[in-house]
Structure 1
Amino acid sequence: MKKLTSSCVKMPILPLLSFLFLFFAHSHSHSLLYDQEHAVLLKIKQYLQNPPFLHHWIPSNSSHCTWPEIRCTNGSVTSLTMYNTNITQTLPPFLCDLKSLTHIDFQLNFIPGEFPTSLYNCSKLEYLDLSQNTFVGRIPDDIHHLASLSFLSLGGNNFSGDIPASIGRLKQLRSLYLHQCLFNGSFPAEIGNLSNLELLHAFSNHMLPPTKLPSSLTQLNKLKVFHMFESNLVGEIPETIGHMVALENLDLSKNGLSGQIPNGLFMLKNLSIVYIYKNRLSGDIPGVVEAFNLTELDLSENNLTGKIPDDLGKLSKLTYLCLSMNQLSGTVPESIGRLPSLTDFIVFLNNLSGTLPPDFGRISKLETFQVASNSFTGRLPKNLCYYGRLVGLTAYDNNLSGELPESLGSCSSLQNLWVQNNELSGNIPSGLWTSLNLSSIMINENKFTGQLPERLNENISELSISYNQFSGIIPLGVSSWKNIVVFNASHNLFNGSIPLELTSLPHLTILLLDHNQFTGPLPSDIVSWKSLINLDLNHNQLSGEIPLAIAQLSALNILDLSENRISGQIPLQLALMRLTNINLSSNNLVGRIPSEFENLGFASSFLNNPGLCADTAVLNLILCNSKPQRARTDTRSASHVIITSLVVAASLLALLSSFLMIRVYRKRKQELKRSWKLTSFQRLSFTKANIVSSSMSEHNIIGSGGFGAVYRVGVGDSNYVAVKKIRSNRKLEEKLVSSFLAEVEILSNIRHNNIVKLLCCVSKEDSLLLVYEYLENHSLDRWLHNKSKQIAPGSVLDWPKRLHIAIGAAQGLCYMHHDCLPPVVHRDVKTSNILLDSKFNAKVADFGLAMMLMKPEELATMSAVAGTFGYIAPEYAQTTRVNEKIDVYSFGVVLLELTTGKEANHGDEYSSLAEWSWRHIELGTDVEDILDKEIKEACYMDEICNIFKLGVMCTATLPASRPSMKEVLKILLNCSSNSLTIGEKNGIYDSVPLLKNSKWENQVEYYTDDD
């Protein structure tokens, strides 16, 4: 028994020891691995220069697996995520010392350099997202070493060259993002070998040469989403696209595709979204019976002909149908009006005719209905807003008749009503005028009747009702239309006087009341019309004199008072406004025409006013000196005594008044000195009294903006400063002023020859005066676009001066972006903020300091009045992300203005100069044909073309695609020395690899005050 017991005791010892040995070995190994990974993570933090967002990464006993950027599996780091954290360093080369990494996400940062091949050491990597950074160079040909990847996102970078064929060897890929890069080589057919691929994004690769859609892509029978819009695709869509049986979402829009839409496309049973607009596809729309899952179909902006297929009415899941801008004809099938899921019906700009299906909106929850520019007849469907979801009704340029549907009167969701140029008639549904969300009413060129309402929805900014049969008076309630920007009521039957209440609309820019039956004088108190650009009151029965207050409307550019009964003289102040267009003909005006109007540009502006005369024959009026001057000696003799007595009395009264005024002036001057506070940032040669006691009157204004006017103020015998007076209708809060002054002090320390010096700030409780150095040649926009009476007509900036100005402004911005710590982003770069001294040296001005003093509601108001449309980078308009690239975009617009001579808002109502320039490049327009004729000299042509192309690159939609200001400056300096050549073989993009080459770093020279 003892033996047995002993044997039973001894037998388990060896296995137990083995277990304990393995346990402690594993624990030791696990502890060692933990320590190693902890050390690597702290090393990563140090490599990234200890960014604030990693403040919690500290040596401690707490597990790094609890850090939000880390995910662990079985105690080992498997995931590292640093999304949108403003990283500006390259990726740590030792990242793969974390041996178990399967997931790396560094998207939406500013990571520079080439693709980090050190990631090949991450042998387990399955997920890699490096999108939205600033990587440059080529994607390496051996990227297939990342063999385990199932997700790869490299979009939104500056990668160039070919997309490597080796990507086709990443057999595990399910998602591939290669969008918005600078690829200028081939798109590999080998991507068709990715048999597991479910999502492929290759859109917005503008720099790809004309590329046919590889037929091999149709082998991707697991692909669900394929987006390759805006990527220079040409040729036909392969008929074999029907082999992509899993395809659900297809977007090939904005390319150069041609031919017909393949029938196979609509045989795909899983297809839910198709976007193939803005191409050159032709032929009829094929039958679509099999595509019963289709929810969105966009075939707009092609050359499609024939009828809309009846088969479309069988797509019961269709929510979005856009066939606009084609050559479709015939009627709209009745069945489309009964599609149960349809929310958006868009067929404008076709040759469609007949009546619109009456069931539109009755069955589906319609939101958008756009049928403009066709030949539709009959009435609008009466149930368009049946479910109260209709946002936009666009039906202009048709032959529609009858009244507007009564249901629109209770359609609170409606925002835009555009039905102009039809045969519509009757009264406007009463509730429509006050519809809660309505912002734009355009019903002109119809046969509507009735009167204007007392109340109008306060959101309405545009009211166009011209060429109708509206009658009655403009109601006194017009004063409540506070947000009206455009009011066009011309060619109607309105009568009565123009009410004073109409003059209280502060945002009104266009007022057209011509061809009506208005009577009485013009309102005299019109100072609220500060934004008014166009005032047209011709063909009425207005009387009285031209009010002097019109001369205070600083924005006014067009004035037409012709065909009325206006009398009196033409105010001299009107001549000083430098109006582009003025017409005072066919009135009862008398007296001498101001000399400023004596030129051919106003030859027809004063005709048919028998009492007017001119000093020259250029205006086709009676000459003033040809009128006989009859002596009136008897009158003079009779009144001589009375006049003498009046002169003596007036002199005594003037002396007394002068004495009182001097006392009041001295007292006020002392009060001013006590209430104003001066904060100096430079050594000054003047005092605050020189500024606050100066005459900041209208004739001293040298510029203006949304926040106030800028005055030229003398501070010595021949010295001047520029004073920006910031308006405010409220007492400025103390905290706000303190914050403002702190920011001003920071910016006052920016010292550079190409940045306007901020000398001091003078403030009191409701006003601020910013005092800058004065620059004799004012702003660049005045020279480019002849916007100043200080600049002689016909004065032109030659090309050497323009290039000199561009270099100077670039040097200022380069200093702000690359030499200031932290970098300073201007946020409002434009030609009016580039000032010129006597030698045309450029200086960047106006950092938008005044905006800091505005409350949010005031900012919204100001932006409506004083926006900078045309200069704003797309990402700045859409998000709150602000970095140096928004300045690069704006500066690119300045370069386009310098080379084309056009303004930043040049284009149609939906586009800007930047978009106009990109469109010409995409169409292959010869650049020389769109340059400013004033500077087209053969010896500078290559230089000007290069700078135009640089401007186009700077205005790329994607921030990562834009060069830095350092790179921009380098190109400008090279252009200046005629050493830069941008080849034409691949268009504007040949210079991009050069721009993005790291050897350019630290080679840019610019000059500071110290130089």
Structure 2
Amino acid sequence: MEKTMQPLQYSCNNRKIEMPHIPLLSVALVLFLFLASPASSCKEEDSSSLLGFLDGLFRVSGLSTSWQKDTNCCLWEGIICNVDGTVTNISLVSMGLEGHISPSLGNLTGLLKLNLSGNSLSGGLPRELLLSSSITVLDVSFNKLNGEFHELQSTPDSAMKVMNISSNLFTGYFPSTTLESMRNLAALNMSNNSFTGEIPSTICVDKPLFAVLDLSYNQFHGRIPPELGNCSSLAVIKAGQNQLSGTLPAELFNVTSLEHISFPNNHLQGTLAPEHVGKLGDLIILDLGWNRLNGKIPNSIGQLKRLEELHLDNNNMSGELPPALSNCLNLTTITLNDNNFQGDLSHVNFSTLSNLKFLDCRSNKFTGTVPESIYSCSNLIALRLSYNNLHGQLSSGINNLKSLRFLALSHNNFTNITNALQILSKSRTLTLLAIGGNFKHETMPDYDKFYGFENLMCLAINQCSLYGNLPNWLAKLKNLRGLLLDNNKLSGPIPTWINSLDHLFYLDISNNNLTGDIPTTLMEMPALMSTHSDLIILKFPIYLAPFLQYRATSGLPKMLNLGNNKFTGVIPPKVGELQALVTFNLSFNNLHGEIPQSIGSLTNLQVLDLSYNSLTGAIPSALERLHFLSKFNISSNDLEGAVPTGGQFSTFPDSSFSGNPKLCSPTLMHHCASADAAPVSTISTGQYIDKVIFAMAFGMFFGVGVLYDQMVLYRYINFG
């Protein structure tokens, strides 16, 4: 009797899975055949086609070492053959390839999968690949392919199932005939290109397997075709960031297989009809943000039992939130910000939404107090209720939110800041707290002993008209990166402990009544002396007006804003040590003396405002070295001499220098005499550098701590 192996047992979720009996002799035979037989030798015509592809490249990374003529192409890097030596799979992902895709790949009659994504390939996509009767998966995403697609009549037996041409430079219309003949197509991703025209109405014709359509980030316009309702198997449709208009067609809601609907950033209008919404029982994601929708959220939303994400932000929707929203037990994300919703939030029983992580109701017309049921959402990471008409005092129940990292309650009518800070300081998870625009005319609390906020990175208590001094408990917030206390009535000097906040790089204490000299310790802030800063990823963007987005606090400008106070004395010469400084504002103070030459060493500086002081002397020629400087204002001082002409100075308007009657230049009222003429700049044109565009981080929130906020910078930053 032949010996057999004993059955193997694996435990999975306390359930034993038994593997079948396998004869030992059979195992040995398979291993022998596998080890003894050489790899299949590829066909000569396949080898020639692959070498033709190689010839079309001018940067081949390591392929030239592997892809050698007169060697078995089945052993080449990225190549897989079947037992007959036919090339069936080409996978050359992120290989650094540059050049054109050769039509010779279309001669590979057995090729099933072709993946060239993540390279720098250019030129057009060969029609031979689209006409292939064997290729089932084609992925050329994330390249530099360009040009237009021409009308192609593919073979009737086209095998194409998955086509990904996203993140390229394609333009023009996508020919409908090319799609019509791909009857086996299941997934099409055309996102992040420059396709124009209307969405082809024939996209679903004779495609019983068609399940995924992604047209996002293009230039499609017109209406969403009602014919999409013929896609009986459609699960995902994404067409955000286009120019689509009209309403959501009723036919689309007949596709009950839909799990993901995403049309953000278009021009869609109309309402969410109750009889339509309730049909989509399998829907997981509904994203209609940044459109022109109006009306209410229908109570039928409660029938979407699988719904996880609801994005209706930045529309014109109104009415109260439907109580049935609490029936969507799987919700993780609700973004309703920037609409006209009203009423009491307590109409929704949030305690049933145990999976909720993000709740954003910013900029609406909600009234009442913060519902206690929200504090039952133990997984809540981000809560934003800013810019509403909420009132009352903060409840200690908020400390039940053990995962809360972002809290924005700005610009409501909350009272008792002392109570609020005592409650919130107990949170061990908060990284961003925005409570400005509340607590009107109260006093900034200070404490002899203070513990808490140990992980806080950004704090905004601005626009409250608070009295008092800069509180000493701030010195204990050792993880602080951003501090906004602007537009209050704080008085007294800047405390000397300010340089003990090693990570602080964004400080706005403008529009207060602060006095005294600018301390030299402010010129010794470590995060402003170093161009390096910790990266903090945001789940949602912050906005710097008009519409410049950032997703990381390190993308915010490294800033000192001390404007509109009562500071006296001189500008400390040590300011030149703040090498990372991008924005420096000392306007509307009582400073005197000269502008330090050391400011010329702040080579990252983009904004410098010293207006409305009593500064004297000449404009330092060293400022010509500030090649990134885009906004400059020294108006209303007592400066004298010639305005420099080198560097960025020729780009600044005369208003930047007005109110200094002793200044002279060819464009000002006071022209320079020949002896006073500004010296010719010795800085060559070749030294000019383009202005820096701050980096954007598009990552998610896990791994580095979460900040989740959207700030609007009008003149300065509006946090929350």
Q: TM-score, normalised by structure 1?
A: 0.52
- For the 8 Å contact 1:454–1:477, the answer to whether it is kept is no
Whole-angstrom CA distance in 2 between matches of 1:781 and 1:199 = 54
Deviations 1:963-985 (A, max 9, x none): xxxxxxxxxxxxxxxxxxxxxxx
> Which among 147, 166, 172 is matched to residue 155 of structure 1?
166
User: How far is 1:394 from its partner?
Assistant: 1.7
C-alpha distance in structure 1 between counterparts of 2:496 and 2:508, whole Å: 17
Q: Is the 8 A contact 2:378 2:403 kept in 1?
A: no
| Alignment partners' CA distance in 2, 1:909 and 1:143 | 52
Give the whole-Å Cα distance in 2 for the aligned partners of 1:523 and 1:50.
54
* Equivalent pair of 2:586/2:611 in contact (CA under 8 Å): yes
After TM superposition, the structure 1 = structure 2 runs for residues 353-368 of structure 1, keeping only pairs within 5 Å, are 353-368=367-382
| Aligned ranges 1:481-880 → 2 under 5 Å | 481-489=501-509, 499-505=519-525, 507=528, 509-512=559-562, 526-528=574-576, 531=581, 533-535=584-586, 538=589, 546-548=592-594, 552-554=598-600, 556-560=608-612, 571-573=616-618, 580-581=633-634, 778-779=646-647, 782-783=650-651, 792-793=666-667, 845-846=687-688, 868-869=692-693
Query: Which position in structure 2 is the counterpart of 1:293?
Result: 306
Counterpart residue number, 2:461: 442
Amino acid at match of 1:149: M
Alpha carbons of 1:583 and 1:416: their partners in 2 closer, same or farther (altered >3 Å)?
A: farther
Output the CA distance in 2 between the equivalents of 1:268 and 1:130: 33
Which of the numbers 374, 378, 383 marks the counterpart of 2:392?
Answer: 378
| 1:269 counterpart (266, 278, 281) | 281
Residue 84 of structure 1 is matched in structure 2 by 94
- Counterparts in 2 of 1:235 and 1:63: CA distance versus 1, 3 Å: same
Does the 8 A contact of 2:375 with 2:401 survive in 1?
yes
Q: 1:504 to 1:385 in 2, by over 3 A?
A: same
The answer for the alignment partner of 1:115 in structure 2 is 125
Q: Amino acid of the residue matched to residue 510 of structure 1? A: L
Q: Does 1:132 align with 2:142?
A: yes
| Superposition RMSD in Å | 4.0
Residues 200/794 of structure 1: CA separation in 2 closer, same or farther (3 Å cut) = farther
Instruction: Tell me the equivalent position of 2:290.
Output: 278
8 A Cα contact 1:285 1:309, kept in partner: yes
Return the alpha-carbon distance in structure 2 between the equivalents of residues 83 and 241 of structure 1. Answer: 36
* Number of the residue aligned with 1:333: 346
Q: Which residue of structure 2 aligns with residue 462 of structure 1? A: 482
Per-residue deviation at 1:297? 0.4
Kindly tell me: are residues 366 and 406 of structure 1, through their superposed partners in 2, closer, same or farther at Cα, counting changes over 3 Å? farther
Q: Residue 53 of structure 1 is aligned with which of 62, 66, 69?
A: 62
Q: Check whether the contact 2:561–2:586 (CA below 8 A) recurs between aligned residues.
A: yes
Tell me by how many angstroms 1:132 deviates: 2.9
Instruction: Answer yes or no: is the 8 Å Cα contact 2:309–2:333 preserved in 1.
Output: yes
**For the residues of structure 2 that align with 1:281 and 1:317, how far apart are their CA atoms?**
24
Alpha-carbon displacement from aligned partner over 1:923-963 (angstroms, at most 9, x marks no partner): xxxxxxxxxxxxxxxxxxxxxxxxxxxxxxxxxxxxxxxxx
Bigger Cα displacement from structure 2, 403-412 vs 388-397: 403-412
Over alpha carbons, which structure has the higher Rg? 1
Q: Greater helix percent: which structure?
A: 1
d(CA) in 2 for partners of 1:423 and 1:250? 41
- Residues 468 and 407 of structure 1: CA distance in aligned 2, closer, same or farther (over 3 Å): same
CA change 1:204–1:94 in 2 (3 A) is same
Deviation of the 1:86 alpha carbon: 3.6
**Structure 2 CA distance for partners of 1:349 and 1:389, relative to 1, 3 Å:** same
Aligned to 2:255: 244
Match of 2:73 in 1: 64
Tell me the secondary structure at the aligned position of residue 112 of structure 1.
Answer: strand
Q: How many residues align?
A: 589
- Cα deviation, residue 49, structure 1: 4.8
Q: Among residues 171, 176, 184, which one is paired with 2:183 in the alignment?
A: 171
TM-aligned CA distance change 1:259 to 1:113, over 3 Å = same
Q: Does the CA contact (< 8 Å) of 1:434 and 1:455 recur in 2?
A: no
Cα offsets for 1:29-85 (capped at 9, x unmatched): x97863443344344334435723203324488753343411222242101122233
Give the Cα–Cα distance (whole angstroms) in 1 for the partners of residues 350 and 495 of structure 2.
40
**Per-residue deviation at 1:154?**
2.1
* Consecutive unaligned residues in structure 2, runs of 5 or more: 1-38, 529-557, 624-631, 658-662, 670-679, 700-710, 716-720
Report the Cα distance in structure 2 between the residues aligned to 1:479 and 1:54, rounded to whole angstroms.
54
Q: Report matched runs for 1:392-431 at 5 Å.
A: 392-402=406-416, 403-404=419-420, 406-423=422-439, 427=445
**Code of the aligned partner of 2:318:** T
Is the Cα contact below 8 Å between 2:42 and 2:72 reproduced in 1? no
The 1:843/1:332 distance shift into structure 2, 3 A limit, reads same
Flag the 1:442–1:43 CA change in 2: closer, same or farther, 3 A. same
The aligned residue for residue 989 of structure 1 is: none
Partner of residue 181, structure 1: 193
- Report SS of the residue matched to 1:259: coil
User: What is the CA distance between 1:446 and its match in structure 2?
Assistant: 5.2
Shift of 1:178: 1.6
Work out the CA distance in 2 between the residues paired with 1:844 and 1:577: 18
**1:319 match:** 332
Question: In structure 1, what is the Cα distance between the partners aligned to 2:406 and 2:122?
Answer: 44
Which of 214, 217, 226 is residue 201 of structure 1 equivalent to?
Answer: 214
When normalised by structure 2's length, the TM-score is 0.71
| Superposed displacement of residue 482, structure 1 | 4.3
Query: In the aligned structure 2, how far is the partner of 1:503 from the partner of 1:119?
Result: 62
Q: State the 1:350 CA deviation.
A: 1.1
CA distance in 2, matches of 1:448, 1:319: 40
- Tell me the equivalent position of 1:309: 322
Letter in 2 for 1:572: G
Deviation, 1:245, is 1.0
Q: Aligned equivalents of 1:594 and 1:791: distance in 2?
A: 13
Secondary structure in 2 aligned to 1:423? coil
CA distance, structure 2, for counterparts of residue 778 and residue 581 of structure 1: 17
| Aligned: 1:344 with 2:358 | yes
Whose strand proportion is higher, 1 or 2? 2
Q: Select 2:222's aligned residue among 194, 199, 211.
A: 211
1:411-461 C-alpha deviation (Å, 9 max, x unpaired): 343332221111275737976775334134334415476732372435434
CA distance in 2, matches of 1:522, 1:781: 24
Q: Shift in Å at residue 243 of structure 1?
A: 1.2
Shift of 1:308: 1.1
Residue of structure 2 in register with 1:369 after alignment:
383
Q: Secondary structure at the match of 2:433?
A: strand
Change (3 A) 1:98 1:315: same
Distance 1:52 1:468, change over 3 A: closer
- Structure 2 distance, partners of 1:595, 1:549, is 12
